[in-house]
C-alpha cells in the first residue's frame, strides 16, 4: 500500500505550444484590442495595489454589471476564470442523485468540471445538423449548456431555452453565454420568470479581455447567495487589476459593439468564400465557424496551414472531418483564405 494508491487517476487533456510567429485561429478569442477606457485604465493603474490583497466584495463591479443586465447587485457574483465559475455553480446547483445533462458535443471546460467534481452525467442528443434535441432534456439533476454551443457554434433561441426551463422546473438550468454578442442574444431576461435559470457570462470574447478572464454569474438571489458563500469559503476573488479593467470595459460599450459588428461582417464574408472552395459550413451564432471540405481531410488541411503559420482546431467525434476557426480581422482573414484555398 502506498500513498499513490489514494491519488485519483485523471487523463491529461492534450495541449500544444503555439509559436509566436503562428497566427492562432483555434482559440475563439476576439481579434481586436480592448477599448480606449481599458487601455487608459491600464496605463493609469497604481502598481502599489499589487502588493495588497484584492477586494473580495467587488461592490462597484457588481453594481455596474447588475445595471447593465437590468438585475439587482445581489443577483450577480464575479470570479476569475470560467472553469472556477462553473465549479462554484455546479457545487451550488447540482446537489441530487440524478445525472446532470450536457450536450453530446460540448466544450472541454464543461465536461472537465463535471468530471473533476465526480458528477453523474448523461448526454443531450443532437440532431443530424448538430442542434440540441430540446424535448429530450428531462429527468435529470440539472442542465449545463453553452449557448451558442462550442465547438458547433449553434445557438438555441429564447423559445427553445424556455422549453427547457418549462420541462425542468425542479432543477437548475445553467446557460453559459461565453460567446453571446456575435449573433446570439442573451437569455438573462428570462430569470425573472424562471428563477431556476442561471446564466454564466465572460468578458473574454465579446469584450476582448481573455488575458484577465473575468467571469460573472447572474441568477435569482437565492442561487447567487449560495455561490457567493462558496466563493467566500475558498477566499477567492479577481485581482485588483482585473477589477479595474473590467469596470473600464463596461464604459466602452459603443467600441465593443462596433468590434462585434466587424467580426460579424467578416464572418459573413468568410462563410461565402469558403463555400466557393468546396467547404460545408455549420450555421454560426458565434465568433467562430466550423467547416468541412467535401474532399480533403481536415488534418491534411490543418497540417498544410500550420506550415504556412496558421493554426486551426481539428475536431473529432461527432464533428470528425470539421475544422473550427476563429474569425479574426478582415485583413488576417483575407490572407488566411488565400492559404486555405491552397491547403484544400
Which pLDDT tens digit goes with each residue over 120-169?
A: 999 999 999 999 999 999 999 999 999 999 999 999 999 999 999 999 99
Strand, helix or coil at 313? Answer: strand
pTM of the model: 0.94
Supply the pLDDT for residue 12.
78
Count CA atoms closer than 13 A to 207's CA, side-chain side: 26
Strand, helix or coil at 121? Answer: strand
Cell numbers for 103:
450536450
Cell numbers for 3:
500513498
Cell numbers for 220:
435569482
Peptide bond into 192 cis (omega under 30): no
Supply the pLDDT for residue 95.
86
Model confidence at 183, pLDDT cuts 50, 70, 90, reads: confident
CATH class of domain segment(s) 36-251: alpha beta
Average pLDDT, the chain: 94
Spatial CA neighbour of 250 closest among 107, 109, 65, 17: 65
Cell numbers for 157:
433561441
Give the span between the Cα atoms of 190 and 168, in whole angstroms.
14
pLDDT at 224 over 90: yes
Query: Do the domains 36-251 and 20-33+254-343 match in fold?
Result: no
Give the span between the Cα atoms of 261 and 56, in whole angstroms.
34
Share of the chain above pLDDT 90, in %: 87
Q: In what order do the strands lie in the sheet with 279-281?
A: 279-281, 288-293, 323-326, 313-314
Strand, helix or coil at 77? Answer: strand
The model's pLDDT over 250-290, given as tens digits with 9 standing for 90+, comes to: 999 999 999 999 999 999 999 999 999 999 999 999 999 99
Q: Do the beta carbons of residue 302 and residue 314 sit within 8 Å? A: yes
Spatial CA neighbour of 270 closest among 332, 313, 315, 314: 332
Supply the pLDDT for residue 7.
86
Give the span between the Cα atoms of 190 and 251, in whole angstroms.
25
Model confidence at 302, pLDDT cuts 50, 70, 90, reads: very high
Supply the pLDDT for residue 230.
94
- φ, ψ (nearest 5 deg) of residue 271: -60, -45
The model's pLDDT over 67-123, given as tens digits with 9 standing for 90+, comes to: 999 999 999 999 999 999 999 999 999 988 899 999 999 998 999 999 989 999 999
Model confidence at 243, pLDDT cuts 50, 70, 90, reads: very high
Supply the pLDDT for residue 67.
97
pLDDT at 19 over 90: no
DSSP secondary structure code for residue 6 in this structure: G
Share of the chain above pLDDT 70, in %: 100
pLDDT at 4 over 90: no
Average pLDDT of the segment spanning 47-62: 91
Burial 144-174 (b: 16+ CB within 10 A, else e): bbbbbbbbbbbbbeeebbbebbebbeebbbb
Spatial CA neighbour of 263 closest among 285, 279, 246, 278: 285
Give the span between the Cα atoms of 81 and 25, in whole angstroms.
21
Average pLDDT of the segment spanning 321-329: 97
pLDDT at 235 over 80: no
Bridge partners for 101 per DSSP: 122, 143
Domain boundaries, the chain: 20-33+254-343, 36-251
**H or E element at residue 145:** strand 142-146
Supply the pLDDT for residue 333.
98
Model confidence at 196, pLDDT cuts 50, 70, 90, reads: very high
Average pLDDT of the segment spanning 51-59: 89
Q: Do the beta carbons of residue 272 and residue 337 sit within 8 Å? A: no
Name the architecture of domain 20-33+254-343: Alpha-Beta Complex (3.90)
Helix, strand, coil: what percent of the chain each, to 5?
40, 15, 45
Amino acid at each position: 500500500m502506498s500513498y499513490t494508491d489514494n491519488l485519483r487517476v485523471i487523463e491529461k487533456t492534450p495541449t500544444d505550444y503555439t509559436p509566436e510567429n503562428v497566427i492562432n485561429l483555434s482559440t475563439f478569442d476576439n481579434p481586436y484590442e480592448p477599448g480606449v477606457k481599458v487601455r487608459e485604465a491600464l496605463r493609469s493603474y497604481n502598481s502599489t495595489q499589487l502588493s495588497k490583497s484584492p477586494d473580495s466584495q467587488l461592490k462597484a463591479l457588481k453594481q455596474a454589471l447588475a445595471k447593465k443586465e437590468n438585475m439587482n447587485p445581489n443577483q450577480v457574483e464575479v470570479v476569475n476564470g470560467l472553469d472556477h465559475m462553473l465549479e462554484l455553480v455546479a457545487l451550488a446547483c447540482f446537489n441530487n442523485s440524478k445525472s446532470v445533462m450536457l450536450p453530446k458535443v460540448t466544450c472541454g471546460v464543461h465536461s472537465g468540471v463535471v468530471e473533476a467534481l465526480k458528477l453523474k452525467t448523461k448526454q443531450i442528443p443532437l440532431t443530424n445538423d448538430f442542434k440540441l434535441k430540446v424535448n429530450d432534456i428531462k429527468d435529470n439533476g440539472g442542465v449545463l449548456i453553452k449557448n451558442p454551443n462550442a465547438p458547433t457554434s449553434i445557438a438555441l433561441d429564447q423559445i427553445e431555452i424556455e422549453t427547457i426551463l418549462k420541462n425542468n422546473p425542479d432543477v437548475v438550468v445553467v446557460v453559459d453565454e461565453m460567446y453571446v454578442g456575435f449573433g446570439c442574444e442573451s437569455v438573462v431576461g428570462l430569470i425573472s420568470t424562471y428563477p431556476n435559470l442561471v446564466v454564466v457570462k465572460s468578458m473574454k470574447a465579446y469584450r476582448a479581455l481573455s488575458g484577465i478572464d473575468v467571469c460573472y454569474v447572474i441568477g435569482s438571489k437565492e442561487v447567487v447567495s449560495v455561490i457567493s458563500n462558496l466563493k467566500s469559503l475558498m477566499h477567492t476573488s479577481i485581482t485588483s487589476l482585473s477589477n479595474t479593467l473590467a469596470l473600464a470595459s463596461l464604459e466602452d460599450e459603443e467600441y465593443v459593439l462596433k468590434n462585434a459588428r466587424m467580426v460579424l461582417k467578416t464572418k459573413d464574408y468568410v462563410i461565402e468564400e469558403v463555400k466557393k472552395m468546396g467547404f460545408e459550413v455549420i450555421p454560426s451564432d458565434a465568433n467562430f465557424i466550423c467547416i468541412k471540405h467535401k474532399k480533403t481531410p481536415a488534418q491534411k488541411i490543418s497540417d498544410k496551414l500550420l506550415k504556412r503559420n496558421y493554426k486551426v482546431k481539428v475536431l473529432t467525434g461527432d464533428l470528425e472531418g470539421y475544422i473550427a476557426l476563429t474569425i479574426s480581422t478582415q485583413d488576417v482573414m483575407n490572407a488566411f483564405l488565400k492559404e486555405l484555398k491552397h491547403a484544400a
